[in-house]
Amino acid sequence: MGNRLEDKIIVVTGASSGLGRGIAKACAKEGAKVVVSDIREEPTAGGFEDDAALTTVQSIRDSGGEAVFVRCDVTRSDQVAHLIAEAVKTFGRLDVMVNNAGIFRAGKRMHEFGEADLDVCFEVNAKGTFFGSQEAVKQFLAQGDGGNIINIVSTAGLQGHPNQSVYNISKGAQANLTRCLAIEYGKDQIRVNGICPTYAKTALTRELFNDEDFDSSFTESIPLKRWGEVEDVANLAVFLASDESGYIHGDLIKVDGGETLSRYSV
């Protein structure tokens, strides 16, 4: 156990699986008290967790950390308000809000997507981050001593990716919300940053990972010649959650093995 986040109260949405789970576990390992939140408690099938039989809270507690679970669908503003209220009721305050819950839709050109795919990407990825930020900001302003929001965006929020327009534009909205909030709430000492991973190994990308052609062409296209790992993202989240990153604000930081540097690969 480390102490880089000692006694910080951190809420992570979508934390039963994948990146959110990894972020929750990494924060707890550094001494944070973590509110694990999701629509379900067990990890999504098909993920890469080596402890998938355990819930995130069980895994954190088994390692000596402190965590509670609060069920919350981030598309519902009343449930997000309840999540923050529960975090404060349990641990006394809120220090960091990680808006991680997200879903992915891909495999079609724009004209082939249905309205349901468009709606669900906006509901979870954009609106969910909006509600999470809104409730966190209200709590931070009430506490009166700053705050910290970390949005899990994507390199898809920074550039166009083919055959995933509905996901791409929801991530673009999340990226721009990060910039807006940083400008609006900097004077309240509320820091806001985004993390932009390329494909990392989670349930969300399992289908792509299992596609041998995609796997080899994707790996080849990345200058570091490998997929992202949950830990790559979690390590940055710990840094952004900590006071070590105190002057980093409004940034959208890539965790992409160099993916976005060039169209050339060597």
Ligand X SMILES: NC(=O)c1ccc[n+]([C@@H]2O[C@H](COP(=O)([O-])OP(=O)(O)OC[C@H]3O[C@@H](n4cnc5c(N)ncnc54)[C@H](O)[C@@H]3O)[C@@H](O)[C@H]2O)c1
Q: Which residues bind ligand X (CB under 6 A)?
A: 13-14, 16-20, 38-40, 44, 47, 72-75, 100-104, 124-125, 128, 152, 154, 197, 199-200, 202-205
Q: How far apart are CA 15 and CA 100, in angstroms?
A: 8
Whole-number minimum distance, CB 12 to ligand X, in Å?
10
Whole-number minimum distance, CB 76 to ligand X, in Å?
8
- Residue of 68, 58, 59 whose CA lies nearest to 90: 68
In the complex with ligand X, the residue whose CB is nearer, 155 or 245, is 155
Q: How far apart are CA 257 and CA 5, in angstroms?
A: 26
Q: How far apart are CA 153 and CA 166, in angstroms?
A: 14
In the complex with ligand X, the residue whose CB is nearer, 19 or 222, is 19
Q: How far is CA 257 from the centre of its chain?
A: 18
Could you tell me the CA-to-CA distances from 67 to 35, 72, 91 in Å, in that order?
6, 15, 10
In the complex with ligand X, the residue whose CB is nearer, 16 or 148, is 16
- Helix 128-143 with 165-185: angle, nearest 10 deg: 10
Whole-number minimum distance, CB 203 to ligand X, in Å?
4
Whole-number minimum distance, CB 50 to ligand X, in Å?
14
- Residue of 240, 266, 252, 196 whose CA lies nearest to 32: 240
Could you tell me the CA-to-CA distances from 232 to 12, 174, 194 in Å, in that order?
17, 20, 14
In the complex with ligand X, the residue whose CB is nearer, 65 or 197, is 197
247 catalytic residue (yes or no): no
In the complex with ligand X, the residue whose CB is nearer, 139 or 205, is 205
Residues with Cβ within 8 Å of residue 12, at least 6 apart in sequence:
20, 23, 24, 27, 34, 35, 36, 37, 98, 100
Which of 167, 185, 199, 247 is the catalytic position?
167
Query: Closest residue (Cβ) to ligand X?
Result: 102
Q: Which residue has the tokens 């906006």?
A: 122
Whole-number minimum distance, CB 246 to ligand X, in Å?
24
- 51 in helix, strand or coil? coil
Active site residue ranges: 167
